[in-house]
Structure 1
Amino acid sequence: MTLLTSSPGTWTKTLGSLLLALALAGPAVAAEETVEQEIDEVVVEEAPPVLPLDELRLFAEVFERIKTAYVEPVDDAQLLEDAIRGMIAGLDPHSAYLEPEAYEDLQEHTSGEFGGLGLEVGLQDGFVRVIAPIDDTPAQKGGIKAGDLIVKLDDTPVQGLSLNEAVALMRGKPGEPIVLTIVREGVEKPFEVKLIRDVIRVASVRHRVLEDGFGYLRVSQFQVNTGKDLVEAIEDLQDKGPLRGLVLDLRNNPGGVLQAAVEVSDAFLDDGLIVYTEGRLANAALRYSASARTAAPEVPLVVMINAGSASASEIVAGALQDHKRGLILGTDSFGKGSVQTILPLTADRAVKLTTARYFTPSGRSIQAQGIVPDIRVEEAEVRNLENGDRLKESDLTGHLVNGQNNGESNGVKADDKLVERDFQLFEALNLLKALVILKPESKQG
């Protein structure tokens, strides 16, 4: 696109003429009445909508006022870019105009490596709201929590900044410090947190054995390879011994790639709808179904969510909940039920546009509502009461020996401190054990 660079008045007249021409270039054919002979019914065809002339004239007028009256000269191209940015920002909190740096950052983010603090953020009432801190990043290690409002970055107030501008301030060279001023629910006054910027490398899937037969899967965000990585993690857990149950941790997972959410759901489902989307574009109406192949068939499953679980996390939790494949434990999720599509404009610019709403298999939209857990467990701090060393049978002199085992275990020892370190995970493991106890034994034929 070639921009005109003549004087402001000339440019604005040209812009006004161009906008007027576009408006008048609307449908030149008036609505016609046509008669359907077979049913003897008059059908009136509606004329396609014309461009809003008054608003276009207003745009041209504002453009000219800025060019002629603003305290400093303003570049034509910059004004138009600002207009595009504002037009898209006014749609919803998730649509955005991606300039070269933001476009590159998005590509790095979905691939799993980018620079910054490790925060997934959005705008709320002019402030930056933390959707979720990413695992093992400066933000997570510094104690930033989902729901925190960032009101100042170093000495710069956040209110009035666009989301892209705020994110740009948070980015920087690894090793450089930044001070975030935080407002947190339940805390009386704003407080400061000093973080050191770092290169963020996100391993989207981590796993470990909690106790003998009970595996833990942590998905921190949904990247291109998350589905494959999750299946490999399950296989590694199975190699360590028979799996009796799994905990899938989606807490503080801000979402990511839609296809990855489908693949993670498919790893636990062998049939049925996973998610479907509806939008105005023909290709926005999509349906995703499970394949017959599963990574962990019939293994009892507990899925953990909280207010930081958004978008793709909610797709997985909603699908598993609707199919009764797993019990959902935790607190209500974030409630982002829309799908964003990256629409490239040039080689280095794109529009991230909300193009569809997604629905769980039963037809639920979680937009602005979230997934409600089956078992509500709030985050809490718990400490064990010291009961002292109580006398047991084995402490009595001359006690009878059990005779069946020597009291030793070859498996993974239970984590006695789990209840203090992560109460929600402790409760998830207890629930999983109950599901295993109640699960009927499969009969061998």
Structure 2
Amino acid sequence: MAGKFKIAAWVTVGVLTGALATLQLQAMARNAVSPLPLEELQQFAAVYGLIKADYFEPVEGKKLVHDAISGMVNSLDPHSEYLDQKSFKEFRESTSGKFVGVGIEITAEDGLVKVVSPIEGSPAAHAGIQAGDLITRIDDTPVKGLPLNQAVKLMRGKPGTKVTLTILRKSENRTFNVTVTREEIHVQSVRGKMVAPGSAWVRITQFQSDTLPDFTRKIEDFYKQDPKLKGIVLDLRNDPGGLLESAVGVASVFLPRDVVIVSTRGQIPEANVSYRNTPSDYSRTPGDNPLEGLPAGVKTVRLVVLVNGGSASASEIVTGALKDYKRAVVMGTQTFGKGSVQTVLPLGPDTALKLTTARYYTPNGESIQAKGITPNYFVDPLPTGDPYAALRMREVDYKNQIGTGVEASDSSSVKEALRKQEEARRLLEAEIEKDPNKFPKLPEYGSKEDWQMEQALNYLEGKPVVTAKMVADAQEKNAKPPAPTSSAGPVQKPAPAPRPAKPDSK
């Protein structure tokens, strides 16, 4: 990265809930600056003065300016943002994978906070908190109905401070308190295991600064366990993104040297860049190559990428590159569709402007903005489908998203699609509220009940893959009067293992 920019900081990609797509460029003074709209600025000053003088109670001037800047930036698109001191600090934490807290991965369940797993070596793990535990109170605050992000904020704090968690452990039918001392936590973004003879599963939860070295170590570990590894499932489901250089590096693990992984195009010259499978584009340390020493077989091993509507930005960069070069089969559901890049421009030591400066393009020159990546095999999270599909927000659902560059974000077809999606979402929310027990819980990723991973393994092992369309056809067929004879349920034979495409001559 250092070879591309004089000032190299972070290069991140993601969605609103994760590390957002960010490209740290050099802040350069422009020779040609658009003239300031003096009349409008005078009007702004007049409004500011009237509020300060005539509002029914005093208003802090700093707050008025902050809100004015935020409104100006937020109106542009969903991902441009003014980062105040607190937001800038949280942003830097999200890209580093480090924060101060108790060290648990959580999700929401029945209005409570469920522990997915304690992070190894964390205060929570030392305190005996287990996967499956439900948190009912955080200090004196009941968790029931509390938004998940608020629960996270309550558990975070300064190092050395204590927080008391009330735990409901259903397996033991008891409730008890645990007092945990907060520490700096390092989030492991890569985990994986051998899931079948000759087949491995590796999951990336977010592309962080240490994701690439962790990922390569995991790949090396797989080959130590089975030198004749036949297939890998790369799980990017619900991965909101992260550091672009990490995404370039992960894709490069499986692709030929020097091929284009992703390119960006924008108004300023610095935003027009191609990122390739070369150490200078994915290594954080000049002269270092984290991919050195990887087994040669990783370039040809059968590969399946699992994605869904929560796979965004950096995840889509990896998926798009592996799909365009026909190096992997993509399985799951349509991805999020965030194909824009933001530049973080520091305004001072503690504040910054995050501004959309470019769209990014897959190696074939395709923009996935507001479209996402279409899987080779559509496979829902359950054999019966995806009962929560209508609830999932995607880039196209944001009214002020920037569009593809071909079709405007406010075109009639986009508006009609949004209207139908919103109606479906409203109906499903009403149905869930009426009878929440009617809807099944989705399986944990990587578990034996994980239907999408089961189909990925079927592909790797040369077995039939059951796709969403085939399930729907079978259900429709079963709903009709029985025919005189019957046949086996529909399946789809896997295609031959894809081979790496030759580098694009462009």
Which of 259, 262, 271 is residue 275 of structure 1 equivalent to?
Answer: 262
Tell me which amino acid in the other structure corresponds to 2:267. R
In structure 2, what is the equivalent of residue 326 of structure 1? 328
Deviation, structure 1 residue 137: 7.5
- Secondary structure of the 1:368 match is coil
Q: Write the deviation string for residues 141-180 of structure 1: whole angstroms up to 9, x where unpaired.
A: 799xxxxxxxxx989999xxxxxxx9678512355779xx
Which of 225, 229, 235 is residue 210 of structure 2 equivalent to?
Answer: 225
Gaps of 5+ in 1: 1-26, 28-46, 121-132, 144-152, 159-165, 179-195, 383-416, 441-445
Which of 372, 375, 389 is residue 374 of structure 2 equivalent to?
Answer: 372
Distance 1:381 1:312 in 2: 28
Contact 1:330–1:377, Cα closer than 8 Å, also in 2? yes
Pick closer, same or farther for the CA change 1:323–1:59 going to 2, 3 Å.
Answer: same
Distance 1:418 1:229 in 2: 18
In structure 2, what is the equivalent of residue 428 of structure 1? 456
Distance 1:325 1:304 in 2: 14
Gaps of 5+ in 2: 1-30, 108-113, 120-130, 135-141, 157-162, 167-178, 280-290, 385-444, 464-493, 499-506
Tell me which amino acid in the other structure corresponds to 2:270. N
Contact 1:115–1:171, Cα closer than 8 Å, also in 2? no
Contact 2:115–2:132, Cα closer than 8 Å, also in 1? no
In structure 1, what is the equivalent of residue 300 of structure 2? 298
Contact 2:106–2:117, Cα closer than 8 Å, also in 1? no
Distance 2:359 2:253 in 1: 23
Q: Give runs of aligned pairs for residues 207-246 of structure 1, distance below 5 A.
A: 207-241=192-226, 242-246=228-232
Deviation, structure 1 residue 438: 5.0
Contact 1:306–1:330, Cα closer than 8 Å, also in 2? yes
Alpha-carbon RMSD across the aligned residues, in angstroms, is 3.8
- Secondary structure of the 2:247 match is helix
Deviation, structure 1 residue 420: 5.7
In structure 1, what is the equivalent of residue 358 of structure 2? 356
Deviation, structure 1 residue 53: 3.3
Pick closer, same or farther for the CA change 1:433–1:366 going to 2, 3 Å.
Answer: same
- Secondary structure of the 1:334 match is coil
Distance 1:338 1:418 in 2: 30
Pick closer, same or farther for the CA change 1:297–1:135 going to 2, 3 Å.
Answer: farther
Aligned pairs, how many? 315
Question: Could you tell me the TM-score, scaled by structure 2's length?
Answer: 0.55
Contact 1:115–1:172, Cα closer than 8 Å, also in 2? no
In structure 1, what is the equivalent of residue 42 of structure 2? 57
In structure 1, what is the equivalent of residue 341 of structure 2? 339
Greater CA radius of gyration, 1 or 2? Answer: 1
Distance 2:143 2:51 in 1: 31
In structure 2, what is the equivalent of residue 254 of structure 1? 240
Pick closer, same or farther for the CA change 1:228–1:361 going to 2, 3 Å.
Answer: same
Deviation, structure 1 residue 50: 3.4
Deviation, structure 1 residue 419: 8.2
In structure 1, what is the equivalent of residue 273 of structure 2? 286
- Secondary structure of the 1:106 match is helix
- Secondary structure of the 1:434 match is coil
